[in-house]
Structure 1
Amino acid sequence: MTEPNYSDPKYFWNRELSWVDFNDRVLEEARDRDNPLLERVKFLGITQSNLDEFFNVRVASLKKMESVGYEKPDASGMTPKQQLEGLSEKIHLQTDKQYTTLNRSLLPKLADYGIRILKPDELSTPQLAYIDDFFHNELAPVLTPMAFDVSRPFPFFANDSLNIAIQLIRPDETKKKNKEKSFAAVPVPGMFPRVIKLPSANNEFILLEDIIKYFVNELFIGSEIKETATFRVMRDMDMDVAEEDASDLMKEIQRQLKKRERGKALKLDYESSMSKYLRKTLIKHLHLTEADVYAVKGPLDLTFLSKLVKQVTGHKDLLYPPFTPYEPELFKDNNLFDLISQRDLFLNLPYDSFDPVVDFVREGAEDPQVLAIKMTLYRVSSQSPIITYLKKAADNGKQVTVLVELKARFDEKNNVHWAQELEKAGCHVIYGLVGLKTHCKLTLIVRREEDGIKRYMHMSTGNYNDKTAKGYTDMGLFTANVEMGIDASNIFNMLSGFSEPPYFHKLVIAPIALRQFIYDKIDAEIQNVKDGKRGFIQMKMNSLSDAGMISKLYEASHAGVEIHLLVRGICNLKVGIPGISDTITVHSIVGRFLEHSRIYYFWADGEEETYLSSADLMTRNISRRVELLFPILQPDIQHQVMRLYTLLWSDNVKTRVLQPDGSWDRVDRRGLVKLDAQEYQADHAKEIADYLITPTDETAKTTFENEHRFIPLMKPDDSLDESGDQK
């Protein structure tokens, strides 16, 4: 029998269109009536920030391909031109859905609670006096009206900046019979808050651009203002760093940051009431097409909604209940090096506290027995305590080596700053390998002890960022495993020098070996099925888009291997193809926390191998990044990781199930006990963590497992009520 062609384009969804489907799942959370109202508002804002970044980078890349005539199709058989056409159609529909959600659902519901965004003609006398004072004493001196005529070039509008387009008749035209229209614009200054809280007993607000519009006549004295309309331009923000030609990577990054702000215009958002004159003027001079412009019925740039939520007072009932990550007493009362030398320790963020990770670096900085700290940093917060302790370690005479990834997208400026700060403190800062982003999450602390030198490690699926650790789900491991320690040292030697280790004992590194390692594990499951045994794979990741990996999963499904995939975002794999993918099931969870952990599990003929990783199954992760995959060797932690996977797989509240037609359907909960896996972990963080930390208490384990059973899924279903909200 002929082997199928697992790389046939008809077996793949397009990567970019799949991303739009993911953003639509986020939008569903804004429409879900079971979510607290202000959280729904925040979800709507998230869809906008997601979309903005997508245009800045992904659409920018496709535009560049189209401009140079690149016609090679992707894995799904679509050329860049076809992808752009498909995206335009799909994103226009999604934009309409965003504003339908805002105008028909969220704003009326907010008004029911006295939370209103007002226009100037809706203000009370005291409120009008307030904006009058604010405009004349604070705002007006900063504003810069910009005209466009034969003597003045068309203004430059920065990426993501809000601007007011103005159609006017100039003073020298007002007396003429055939008056000529002129174009002008006023940028909305970014140094002021966009959401202005009005003086009143209620939660009443006005947007900054509406204040400027109200007083715009004062900026063009003598002219006749015919029209004002808000618009926003999105530009190409993807960086093009030729590392091989850059003698100093940091200087090259800084140069590209300045250059990036003036990238090519990609998208124009404008108020739907804008006249043809203003609209055509903008399209012409921004060099856009009709497919690139988006008319919106409401305030532009919905990211302002998160700022609105922060200013609302007296409505905690409209937010998620407060959640405090749990930190077991074991971590608080003991030296971490003593604990890790006895057994591996596991953290399940954000349900477990991130503090032990910070403490690990702090203790390393303060412990006189510690000789060296080595760490990779991809994204850190603007006030990172980890940076503070790394600088302290250098000050205390430790050998501190930090790999700072300068090319971490949209964190470049922050990372350049921290790299400079660390160098000033005496740390040895490295920037990784030419052509590769370093995305692995690894800390190595070398300590002198009575029996010799000992290595302690922390490895994680997520960044060393104390801020995102409160909102992203990630898993981390503390270990003093000797072989992993040797591997970790070899990784840092590879990153900082010219070392090329012949092999790794336990850790798996991309781009060197991760792809083949996973291929081999999948092949082993295929062989087990051929031998009449069970074949079973469970994987969790952010995105699945690598064509080779998808083809290998199809090969496994064709052989009869059962495959469960938890994929939060992009998924290019198709399910339900007879003989190709009919043993594959794909779930996606979008909820309160961003699912960020990566888990790779293989049945392995009953040996059950579990791995955590910094890598998604995307080509960029596997082939163009330094990524880390590490095994969970301690049985109790392995058991816990897979119990958490089972919990997520059994979720029937936030789960969507991929269908053969590419749609994502919610789970039909009829006959099932409601199970929100994220809510469950938040509510039971203490029990889950304590269960793991006391593995010798078999009675406690049995009691816990009996009390916390997970309900299996039934068939999926999706339904909306008449208002467009999710039931």
Structure 2
Amino acid sequence: MTRQLSHYVNRDLSWIEFNRRVLQEAQDLDNPLLERAKFLSIVSSNLDEFMSVRVAGIQDQIRAGYTKMDFTGYTPAGLWKRLIKRTTQMVYDQYKTYREVFRSLGREGIIITTVEELNASQSNAVSQYFQEIVFPVLTPMAVDQSRPFPLVHTKELYLAVLLQQDKMDKEDEPLFAIVQVPSILPRFVPIPGRTNSKKMEFVLLEDLIENHITTLFNGYTPYAVHPFRLTRNADLTLNEDGAEDLLEEIEKELRRRRWGIPVRLEVARGMHPMALEILKEELEIEDNLIEIDGPLDLSFLMKFVHSLPGHDNLRYSRLEPVYPYEFDETDDMFEVIRQRDVLMYHPYESFDAVTDFIEQAADDPDVLAIKMTLYRVSGQSVLVQSLSKAAESGKQVTVVVELKARFDEERNIAWARQLEKSGCHVVYGLVGLKTHAKILLVVRREQGTLRRYVHVGTGNYNDSTATLYTDIGLFTSHPIIGSDASALFNEVTGYSSPYEWKAFGVAPTDLKEKLFRLIEREIANAVQGKGARIIAKMNSLSNQEMIDKLYEASQAGVRIELIVRGVCCLRPGVAGRSENIRVISIVDRFLEHARVMYFYNGGEEEVYLSSADWMTRNLTRRIELMSPVFDVSLRKTLINMLQLNLDDNVKARELRANGTYVHVENDMMPFRSQFEARSIPQWKNYV
């Protein structure tokens, strides 16, 4: 029986379509070879997170006996089956692509080989590396009556080993042990070059260990050695209401994460049946088992590619972010921002302007206070050092650190402690809510009065991801935005009555309602026969109420164009419901991360920057921020940027009503929005 098409695309199935678009970039012959290898790595990292959070959550629902359908028409059990089938097919396609990419890299002299294929001198060299570097950190872990099955850490690589004692009869039950492949060492081991050869050859660490496995088990004969890898449930379960110290509660949960329920087991194809049965029984996993025809965990390819010297012909051409010209010839950024708002588009424009602004604020004796939110911060953050310096100089520095930023919890705890030691007021947000807003407020004394300087953005204050993600940042000294910024920090850090926002939309209090009002205004204009248009760019769209409101707008005649990189639960192009809605996704060199909303408003165009995607968690369970752009010229700039995306016919895919994506095809000249945006200030002037 044919399944009736729901009004909505399932969120998790939509995510799989997104990761398939990433895989398509690895398959795209027009992309440089080493960049294709990096996309293979991203596919693996994405799938790890999907399994450890989304699939793990569905598994919990099944275990709890939950059978209710979600709003897209799926029960947990029905969705589980479909997800496992699609992810298994994706992994098969991924490894087929891996073999194709490395055959091509082999022709370029970049080879991952096996120890058996090395000549004598090369074999001696890697054996020496094993004895001096690898062997000392290996720990064989036997499993028998006196030694129970050891803890298998999530997303770590292991070798399962079946052994026979030299004096054992062949009929005796074999012994079992595991060996962890040390993640502290590089996964790929360079091999000395062959005579008169320019090739760069590598062996994988697990292959090197397997080849020398007998050195770990004197008196025993290993007769089956196979890699395996376990993914555990990694979602934190916090009792925030009962926690006396949120930081300590999160540290406890991070320790518990090591024992999370197994979600997925990856094994090498051809694993010995007895070894496989032991793993399945001990790890208590049956139905999410994936056999891999190739190296487990291709996420190592990211480091592999970055470690290779030269080969510029196999990479994207280098992008040098330009320093925003508005600040290029001044030592006083405050003076510039007093005179005009400044918009920045990363990674084409340098994030250094943000760190320079904070550094200037830290050094300026007229700055009285600095307040900001930190969600994900890089490992070597100049920004944190500047905040610490400001606090040590006597300034009031308040930092809202989000400890629950998934998989960055430990790093954020470390930053929080460093900031506290330097005298900053560190706040961990409100109970039950993640602080996802991106905002910086500097209060400065000027001519007997106080002036507020604000930076709002769509991305994290992270100088590393600012070179990899497309994001928008806005500097302004507009008094209305400054007033709202102060009120926002007062609500987060102290007791404050509900505030009537003059410019901002803030989740979870009124952001959704403000968006509804903006959409309803377009609906009213369309009903009156006026022009009505919405453009919204975001990472994900999955909130049912938002989708229904967009369907309502489409039915009223509003022209809606959505640029949604990842999950999209809305079905466009359905007659009578969404025929006026177009959805595209752009997956390219940089991760599209900006959230920008445009409303035609009868010709009085309005544009907003936001930290929030249109997902239930963003609109109801997080502190999020949407800020208007008041400057007319900057609004035009952002409209130009959106138009760049809408005109893309190289890396844009269009969502069909059946939930699949197809490359945009038209009669226009090839237009790749990320490449066109490299030409600063072309993106500011594009028509």
TM-score, with structure 2 as normaliser:
0.97
Secondary structure (helix, strand or coil) at the match of 1:147 reads strand
Q: 1:534 to 1:91 in 2, by over 3 A?
A: same
Secondary structure (helix, strand or coil) at the match of 1:456 reads strand
Q: CA–CA distance in 1 between the matches of 2:311 and 2:419?
A: 42
Q: CA–CA distance in 2 between the matches of 1:24 and 1:131?
A: 37
Q: CA–CA distance in 2 between the matches of 1:361 and 1:340?
A: 13
2:232 matched to 1:232? Answer: no
2:583 matched to 1:582? Answer: no
Q: CA–CA distance in 1 between the matches of 2:16 and 2:256?
A: 28
Map of 1:114 onto structure 2: 109
2:162 matched to 1:170? Answer: no
Say which of 464, 473, 485 aligns to 1:476: 473
Say which of 84, 91, 96 aligns to 2:80: 84
Say which of 131, 134, 137 aligns to 1:136: 131
Map of 1:360 onto structure 2: 357
| Aligned positions, number | 679
Q: Give runs of ≥4 in structure 1 deviating > 4 Å.
A: none
Map of 1:295 onto structure 2: 291
Map of 1:339 onto structure 2: 336
Q: CA–CA distance in 2 between the matches of 1:177 and 1:284?
A: 24
2:507 matched to 1:510? Answer: yes
Q: Are the aligned partners of 1:544 and 1:616 in contact in 2 as well (CA < 8 Å)?
A: yes
Q: Which moved more, 1:241-250 or 1:331-340?
A: 331-340
Q: CA–CA distance in 2 between the matches of 1:88 and 1:284?
A: 20
Q: 1:177 to 1:413 in 2, by over 3 A?
A: closer
Give 1:135 deviation, angstroms. Answer: 1.4
Q: Are the aligned partners of 1:391 and 1:422 in contact in 2 as well (CA < 8 Å)?
A: yes
Q: How does 1:26-37 map to 2 (within 5 A)?
A: 26-37=22-33
Letter in 2 for 1:297: D
Q: Are the aligned partners of 1:195 and 1:307 in contact in 2 as well (CA < 8 Å)?
A: no
Map of 1:61 onto structure 2: 57
Where do 5+ consecutive residues of structure 1 fail to align?
1-7, 693-704, 710-727
Map of 1:97 onto structure 2: 93
Q: CA–CA distance in 1 between the matches of 2:285 and 2:607?
A: 49
Give 1:451 deviation, angstroms. Answer: 4.9
Say which of 184, 188, 192 aligns to 1:191: 184
Letter in 2 for 1:131: V
Q: CA–CA distance in 2 between the matches of 1:668 and 1:369?
A: 56
2:254 matched to 1:241? Answer: no
Letter in 2 for 1:345: V
Q: CA–CA distance in 2 between the matches of 1:437 and 1:272?
A: 41
2:646 matched to 1:649? Answer: yes
**CA deviation digits over 1:416-436, x for unaligned, max 9?**
001000000001110100000
Q: CA–CA distance in 2 between the matches of 1:312 and 1:328?
A: 32
Secondary structure (helix, strand or coil) at the match of 2:260 reads coil
TM-score, with structure 1 as normaliser:
0.92
Letter in 1 for 2:177: A
Letter in 1 for 2:180: P
Letter in 2 for 1:83: L
Map of 1:256 onto structure 2: 253
Map of 1:404 onto structure 2: 401
Q: CA–CA distance in 2 between the matches of 1:75 and 1:601?
A: 28
Map of 1:378 onto structure 2: 375
Q: How does 1:40-51 map to 2 (within 5 A)?
A: 40-51=36-47
Say which of 316, 322, 325 aligns to 1:320: 316
**CA deviation digits over 1:630-660, x for unaligned, max 9?**
0011100000000010011101111000112
2:661 matched to 1:664? Answer: yes
Map of 1:701 onto structure 2: none
Q: CA–CA distance in 1 between the matches of 2:174 and 2:528?
A: 80
Q: How does 1:142-221 map to 2 (within 5 A)?
A: 142-173=137-168, 176=169, 178-200=171-193, 201-221=198-218
**CA deviation digits over 1:490-510, x for unaligned, max 9?**
100000111123301111100
Map of 1:631 onto structure 2: 628
Letter in 1 for 2:171: N
Q: Are the aligned partners of 2:227 and 2:267 in contact in 1 as well (CA < 8 Å)?
A: yes
Map of 1:277 onto structure 2: 274
Q: Are the aligned partners of 1:652 and 1:674 in contact in 2 as well (CA < 8 Å)?
A: yes
Q: CA–CA distance in 1 between the matches of 2:156 and 2:98?
A: 21
Q: 1:644 to 1:329 in 2, by over 3 A?
A: closer
Give 1:55 deviation, angstroms. Answer: 1.0
Q: CA–CA distance in 2 between the matches of 1:30 and 1:375?
A: 38
Letter in 2 for 1:31: Q
**CA deviation digits over 1:322-352, x for unaligned, max 9?**
1101114431322111111111110011111
Map of 2:551 onto structure 1: 554
Percent of aligned positions with the same letter in both sequences? 44
Secondary structure (helix, strand or coil) at the match of 2:178 reads strand
Q: CA–CA distance in 1 between the matches of 2:144 and 2:166?
A: 14
Letter in 1 for 2:677: Q
Where do 5+ consecutive residues of structure 2 fail to align?
none
Map of 1:699 onto structure 2: none
Q: Are the aligned partners of 1:326 and 1:686 in contact in 2 as well (CA < 8 Å)?
A: no
Secondary structure (helix, strand or coil) at the match of 1:639 reads helix
Q: Are the aligned partners of 2:373 and 2:399 in contact in 1 as well (CA < 8 Å)?
A: yes
2:541 matched to 1:563? Answer: no
Q: CA–CA distance in 2 between the matches of 1:638 and 1:430?
A: 33
**CA deviation digits over 1:189-234, x for unaligned, max 9?**
1111111111114211111000100011121222222211111000
Q: 1:122 to 1:177 in 2, by over 3 A?
A: closer
Q: How does 1:460-475 map to 2 (within 5 A)?
A: 460-475=457-472
Letter in 2 for 1:12: Y
Letter in 2 for 1:466: D
Secondary structure (helix, strand or coil) at the match of 1:419 reads helix
Letter in 1 for 2:102: L
Map of 1:38 onto structure 2: 34
Q: Are the aligned partners of 1:162 and 1:232 in contact in 2 as well (CA < 8 Å)?
A: yes
Say which of 300, 306, 310 aligns to 2:306: 310
Q: CA–CA distance in 2 between the matches of 1:63 and 1:242?
A: 21
Secondary structure (helix, strand or coil) at the match of 2:92 reads helix
Q: Are the aligned partners of 1:41 and 1:309 in contact in 2 as well (CA < 8 Å)?
A: yes
Q: CA–CA distance in 1 between the matches of 2:66 and 2:553?
A: 33
Q: 1:177 to 1:564 in 2, by over 3 A?
A: closer
Q: CA–CA distance in 2 between the matches of 1:576 and 1:513?
A: 30
Letter in 1 for 2:343: F
Give 1:452 deviation, angstroms. Answer: 0.9
Give 1:546 deviation, angstroms. Answer: 0.6
Q: CA–CA distance in 1 between the matches of 2:343 and 2:630?
A: 12
2:124 matched to 1:123? Answer: no
